């Protein structure tokens, strides 16, 4: 008889994504065993992930591993893992700012730090990229509050706000803000701006691919010629962006840009990298917003000339349009050198605990834990 084993797990929506959240101590320590466990828990590989918790899409096939931190000034460490739905692979090659939004509530719910009466700042170390973020979680009476009036595009209804401040995310995956050393490069005859301000992103002009840039994600995913062209460029960008062979990596993200349509700074459609995002990733949006203020970049040339604060330093808000609305990035920019340096970025997310209990996987994994 094959029994099942139960592992403590919380399901949270973080921003516009959804993940299984685990305490590190509940997972196998050895990487191969951990990944085998997570694939079984998620139901991967299977495009529908029908025999597991995954939702059959990269945005709903994510994992957060959290533990109390021993780093000075940090409350918790957060490791993000992307489980590919259709391939037996687990990747730690990127951050996820959406799932980051659930880390504060998860840590507080699990007693990893004490909750204040009011708002609790949670200092989070992002293991994937060796960087830091602070999330501000509403905790009236010392209890996490999920209800509120904050609205983020891509999520129905309103919820309690979680403000996240990032410090020092520039070059966190590729080593520098402009990983190729240039504001623009030409690859396969197409101009591209590569930026890493927390997420490696290639900014491209949608019109260079014969599309408007306002198509739906489904329309773009159905366009196999477009997908092929975008992927060819991505594979060439891997080594140029210091990411090596990116065949099996989830970065760089490929953002096809068009002029803003709804009063924002720029419009985006982002391959992440094979499915098209229904909105845009958090750090992906920070990187695109950064590209908007880089003189001569693909984004700056397409973006709205009246992007608030553009070119004149200090604090600014950049509204990044995406398939389901807007993403507002607040940035502080130092314009004292040739290229602007984004010294701080902040954004608004919401998160909600959906389930807390045990996830079940076949007993076969017990010997690995």
Residue with smaller CB distance to ligand NQM, 91 or 242: 91
Q: Which CB sits closer to ligand NQM, 159 or 253? A: 253
Q: Would you say 90 or 115 has its CB closer to ligand NQM? A: 90
> Binding of ligand NQM at residue 253 (CB under 6 A)?
yes
Q: Which of 7, 9, 23, 96 binds ligand NQM (CB under 6 A)?
A: 96
Least gap, CB of 253 to ligand NQM (angstroms) = 5
Q: Judged by CB, which is closer to ligand NQM: 229, or 322? A: 322
Closest distance between ligand NQM and the C-beta of residue 55, in Å? 12
Q: State yes or no: residue 272 binds ligand NQM (CB under 6 A).
A: yes
Using alpha carbons, select from 266, 273, 250 the residue that is nearest to residue 327: 266
**Per-residue x/- mask for ligand NQM, residues 165 to 204, rule CB under 6 A?**
----------------------------------x-----
- For 351, the 3-state DSSP assignment is strand
Tokens of 152: 């983020």
Q: DSSP assignment of 52-94, as one string?
A: SS--SSGGGSEEEEEEE--STT-SEEEEEEEEPSSSS-EE-SS
Rg, Å, the chain Cα set: 20
Pairing status of strand 266-271 against strand 253-258: antiparallel
Binding segment for ligand NQM (CB under 6 A), chosen from 89-97, 117-125, 219-227, 331-339, is 89-97
Please measure the distance between the N-terminal and C-terminal CA atoms of the chain and give it in whole angstroms. Answer: 20
Cβ neighbours around 162 below 10 Å, total = 28
Q: Is 155 in the site for ligand NQM (CB under 6 A)?
A: no
Shortest reach from residue 197's CB to ligand NQM, in Å = 10
On whether the CB atoms of residues 276 and 220 are closer than 8 A, the answer is yes
Sequence-distant (≥ 6) Cβ neighbours of residue 51 within 8 angstroms = 43
Is 131 a binder of ligand NQM (CB under 6 A)? no
Q: Closest-CB residue for ligand NQM? A: 281
Q: Say if residue 235 is exposed, middle or buried (CB neighbours under 10 Å; 0-12, 13-18, 19+).
A: middle
Applying CB under 6 A, the span of 29-37, 164-172, 278-286, 341-349 interacting with ligand NQM comes to 278-286
Q: 254, 366, 367, 260: which is closest to 322 by C-alpha?
A: 260
Q: Which contiguous run of DSSP H or E holds residue 207? A: none
284 binds ligand NQM (CB under 6 A): yes
Residue from 79, 254, 282, 351 in contact with ligand NQM (CB under 6 A) = 282
Q: Interface with ligand NQM includes 16 (CB under 6 A)?
A: yes
Binding site for ligand NQM (CB under 6 A): 16-17, 58-59, 95-98, 199, 250, 253, 272, 277, 281-284
């Amino acid at each position: 008889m094959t029994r099942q084993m139960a592992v403590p797990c919380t399901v949270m929506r973080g921003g516009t994504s959804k993940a299984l959240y685990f305490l590190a101590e509940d997972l196998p320590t050895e990487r191969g065993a951990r990944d085998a466990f997570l694939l079984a828990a998620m139901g991967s590989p299977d495009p529908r992930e029908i025999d597991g918790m995954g939702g059959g899409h990269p945005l709903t096939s994510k994992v957060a591993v959290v533990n109390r931190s021993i780093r000075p000034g940090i409350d918790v460490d957060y490791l993000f893992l992307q489980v590919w739905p259709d391939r037996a692979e687990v990747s730690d090659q990127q951050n996820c700012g959406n799932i980051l939004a659930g880390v504060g509530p998860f840590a507080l719910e699990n007693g990893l730090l004490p909750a204040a009466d009011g708002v609790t700042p949670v200092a989070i170390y992002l293991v994937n990229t060796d960087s830091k973020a602070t999330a501000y979680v509403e905790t009236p009476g010392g209890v996490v509050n999920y209800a509120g009036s904050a609205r983020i595009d891509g999520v129905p209804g309103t919820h309690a706000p979680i403000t996240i401040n990032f410090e020092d995310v520039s070059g966190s995956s590729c080593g520098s803000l402009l990983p190729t050393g240039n504001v623009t490069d030409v690859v396969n005859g197409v101009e591209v701006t590569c930026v890493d301000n927390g997420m490696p992103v290639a900014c491209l002009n949608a019109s260079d691919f014969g599309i408007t840039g306002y198509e739906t994600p489904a329309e773009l995913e159905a366009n196999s010629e477009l997908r092929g062209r975008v992927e060819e460029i991505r594979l060439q960008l891997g080594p140029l962006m210091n990411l090596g062979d990116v065949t099996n990596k989830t970065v760089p993200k490929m953002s096809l840009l068009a002029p803003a349509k709804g009063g924002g700074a720029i419009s985006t459609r982002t391959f992440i990298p094979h499915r098209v995002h229904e909105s845009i990733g958090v750090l992906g949006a920070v990187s695109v917003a950064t590209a908007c203020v880089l003189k001569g970049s693909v984004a700056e040339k397409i973006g709205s000339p009246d992007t608030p604060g553009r070119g004149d330093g200090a604090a600014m808000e950049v509204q990044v349009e995406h398939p389901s609305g807007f993403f507002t990035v607040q940035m502080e920019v130092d314009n004292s050198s040739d290229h602007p340096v984004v010294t701080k970025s902040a954004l608004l997310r919401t998160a909600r605990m959906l389930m807390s209990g045990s996830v079940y996987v076949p007993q076969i994994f017990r010997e690995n834990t």
